[in-house]
Amino acid sequence: MLLNGLRYLPHCPPPIDHHGSLHWCPYSTNEITGDRRDIIVFDTKVESFRWMRGPAQPYSNRRLFKMKETLAFWGSSTPRFTAMDVWVMLDYDAKIWSFKYQMMCQRWRHHDNFI
């Protein structure tokens, strides 16, 4: 069941390599565990999967990335990504996330004369 969340989807980006493990923020985590905060981790040393909690706030749209060699996360629950929150992991072993920024994004508008 865990591997179902790793299936390839165009909106499911590749894993982030951090702390000796690969990290996925699968699109369909809610379908697997019932929680939109879960992150799948594959420990490359012992070759095993485990779950890790993401930030406390559940987001419908989210991605993992690295920021200054730290595991980071952006999430948005607003329509058309009008606001995005950025979190960084302060302590990997204790799984402590810290909210850093909220970015307000201008809505994309469709213009008839723009292709």
pLDDT tens-digit map of 97-115:
999 999 888 765 544 444 4
pLDDT at residue 109, rounded to an integer: 53
Q: Is residue 112 part of a domain?
A: no
* Per-residue pLDDT tens over the stretch 25-64: 876 555 555 566 788 899 999 999 988 988 988 787 888 9
Domain that holds residue 16: 2-104
pTM of this prediction?
A: 0.74
Q: Is residue 77 part of a domain?
A: yes
Q: Is residue 85 part of a domain?
A: yes
Q: Is residue 18 part of a domain?
A: yes
H helical segments located in 6-85: 29-33
Domain count, the chain: 1
